[in-house]
């Protein structure tokens, strides 16, 4: 026989079971905040390294990012290395290590406009597809223009042109995109 005490007890159990259920799907790979991109260029024949930096400590909106570049010498091959940081936390988070660990899910794209510069990949993921944390930048004659560096998350690395650095068919999501002015002297 059902009594108020039994009905109350069953109702209590039902509410407890339903309220403990987690309806929020897990986030498989929550994106990290990237506040800083440092592109270090070291002359292959020796010499001082040059750092191109993009720093946007307050993220999108708010204050404008701070972009620093230096002129590059003409006719020089530079070894390039990208470091990504989250400087909104202390100590700063090294996002480039995460990109390296998930290389098959990431690719940097380098797009040069007007300046006489070519860029080639120097690293790859476990499948032999380009990653782009390391590159080779070669300057031509005196010129100026700009360099856009884009990091894509989950690009289609087998789409036409993607393995040679063409972002057109890459798809995926942009994690960060930075444009640096270039001066070749």
Per-domain residue ranges of the chain: 33-184
Residue 32: its pLDDT value, please? 76
Give pLDDT, residue 5.
53
User: What pTM was computed for the model?
Assistant: 0.83
Query: Does the bond joining 91 to the residue before it have cis omega, within 30 degrees of 0?
Result: yes
Task: Kindly give the parts of the chain with pLDDT less than 70.
Answer: 1-31
For the four alpha carbons of 2, 6, 7 and 10, in that order, the dihedral sign comes to: negative
pLDDT at position 31, please? 62
- How high is the pLDDT of residue 12? 46
Query: According to the model, what pLDDT value does residue 62 have?
Result: 82
Taking CA atoms, 57 is separated from 67, 76, 83, 114, in Å, by: 12, 32, 15, 30
Give the separation between CA 139 and CA 146, rounded to whole angstroms. 13
């Amino acid at each position: 026989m059902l009594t108020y005490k039994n009905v109350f007890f069953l109702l209590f159990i039902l509410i407890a079971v339903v309220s403990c259920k987690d309806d929020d799907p897990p986030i498989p790979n929550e994106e990290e905040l990237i506040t800083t991109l440092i592109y270090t260029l070291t002359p292959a024949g020796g010499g001082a390294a040059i750092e191109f930096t993009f720093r946007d400590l307050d993220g999108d909106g708010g204050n404008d990012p701070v972009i620093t570049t230096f002129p590059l010498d003409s006719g020089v091959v530079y070894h390039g290395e990208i470091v990504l940081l989250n400087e909104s936390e202390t100590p700063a988070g090294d996002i480039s290590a995460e990109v390296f660990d998930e290389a098959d899910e990431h690719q940097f794209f380098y797009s040069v406009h007007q300046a006489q510069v070519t860029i080639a990949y120097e690293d790859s993921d476990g499948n032999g597809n380009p990653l782009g944390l390391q590159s080779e930048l070669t300057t031509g004659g005196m010129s100026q223009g700009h360099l856009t560096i884009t990091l894509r998350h989950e690009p289609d690395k087998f789409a036409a042109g993607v393995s040679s650095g063409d972002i057109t068919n890459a798809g995926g999501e942009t994690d960060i995109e930075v444009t640096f002015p270039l001066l070749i002297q």
